[in-house]
Structure 1
Amino acid sequence: MNDYSIKQFISRHHSKEGQKVKIKNWLILIGSLVILGVISVGLHTFNTYKIANAPDQITVGSMGSDYEVWQYIAKSKEAKALNLKIRVKQINDGVQLNNATSEHNVNVNAFQSYSYYEAYNHENPKHKLTALGTTYLEPMGIYSDKYQSIKDIGTGATIAIADNPANTARGLLLLQDAGLIKLKAGFNSLGNVGDIVSNPRHLQFKKIDDTTGPRVLKSVGAALISNTVALEGHLNVLKDSLYHEKINQSTRQNINILATAADISNKDKKVYQKLVNLYHEPAIQKHVKDKYQGTKIDVQKPVSYLK
Structure 2
Amino acid sequence: MSKTKKWISLIIVIIFAFIAIFLVRNQTSSGNDKNEITIGSIGSDAQIWNYIAKLPETKQKGIKIKVKNFTDGVSLNTSTAQGKIDVNAFQSYAYLAAYNKSSTKNKLGVIGTTYLEPMGIYSSQYKKISEIPDGATIAIANNAANTARGLRLLEKAGLITLKSSFGSLSGINEIKSNPHDFKFKEIDDTTGPRVIKDNTIAAALIGNTVALEGKLNVLKDSLYHEKIDQSTKDNINILATAKKNQSNKNFKKLISLYHSKKVQKYIRDKFDGTKLEVQKPVTYLTK
Give the TM-score category using the shorter length: 0.7 to 0.9
Find the aligned partners of 1:242 and 1:112 in 2 and give their Cα distance: 23
Find the aligned partners of 1:118 and 1:57 in 2 and give their Cα distance: 27
Size of the aligned set, in residue pairs, is 256
Identical pairs, percent: 59
Give 1:169 deviation, angstroms.
0.7
CA contact (8 A) 1:55 1:85 kept: no
2:185 counterpart (200, 203, 206): 206
1:226 counterpart (181, 190, 207): 207
- Write out aligned runs for 1:1-307 (5 A): 56-218=35-197, 219=199, 220-264=201-245, 266=247, 269-307=248-286
Amino acid at match of 1:94: G
Find the aligned partners of 2:137 and 2:71 in 1 and give their Cα distance: 28
Q: Deviation digits for residues 212-271 of structure 1, max 9, x if unmatched?
A: 1111113211100111111111111110000111221221101100000012374xx222
Unmatched runs of 5 consecutive residues or more in structure 2: 1-20
1:24 counterpart residue number: none
CA contact (8 A) 2:80 2:242 kept: yes
Larger radius of gyration: 1
Give 1:55 deviation, angstroms.
8.2
SS in structure 2 opposite 1:211? helix
Amino acid at match of 1:85: K
Aligned-residue CA RMSD (Å): 1.9
Distance 1:265 1:290, change over 3 A: closer
SS in structure 1 opposite 2:234? helix
Q: Deviation digits for residues 105-164 of structure 1, max 9, x if unmatched?
A: 111000000010000000003110001111001211000111111122221121100111
SS in structure 1 opposite 2:40? strand
Bigger relative contact order (CA 8 A; separation at least 6): 2
Find the aligned partners of 1:55 and 1:195 in 2 and give their Cα distance: 45
CA contact (8 A) 2:110 2:240 kept: yes
Find the aligned partners of 2:208 and 2:254 in 1 and give their Cα distance: 22
Distance 1:55 1:102, change over 3 A: closer
Give 1:277 deviation, angstroms.
1.2
Find the aligned partners of 1:178 and 1:250 in 2 and give their Cα distance: 15
Q: Deviation digits for residues 31-83 of structure 1, max 9, x if unmatched?
A: xxxxxxxxxxxxx9xxx9xx99x982211110111111100000012212322
CA contact (8 A) 1:55 1:83 kept: no
Find the aligned partners of 1:79 and 1:292 in 2 and give their Cα distance: 22
CA contact (8 A) 2:109 2:242 kept: yes
Find the aligned partners of 1:143 and 1:224 in 2 and give their Cα distance: 6
CA contact (8 A) 2:111 2:246 kept: no
Q: Deviation digits for residues 10-44 of structure 1, max 9, x if unmatched?
A: xxxxxxxxxxxxxxxxxxxxxxxxxxxxxxxxxx9
Find the aligned partners of 1:274 and 1:166 in 2 and give their Cα distance: 28
Give 1:103 deviation, angstroms.
1.0
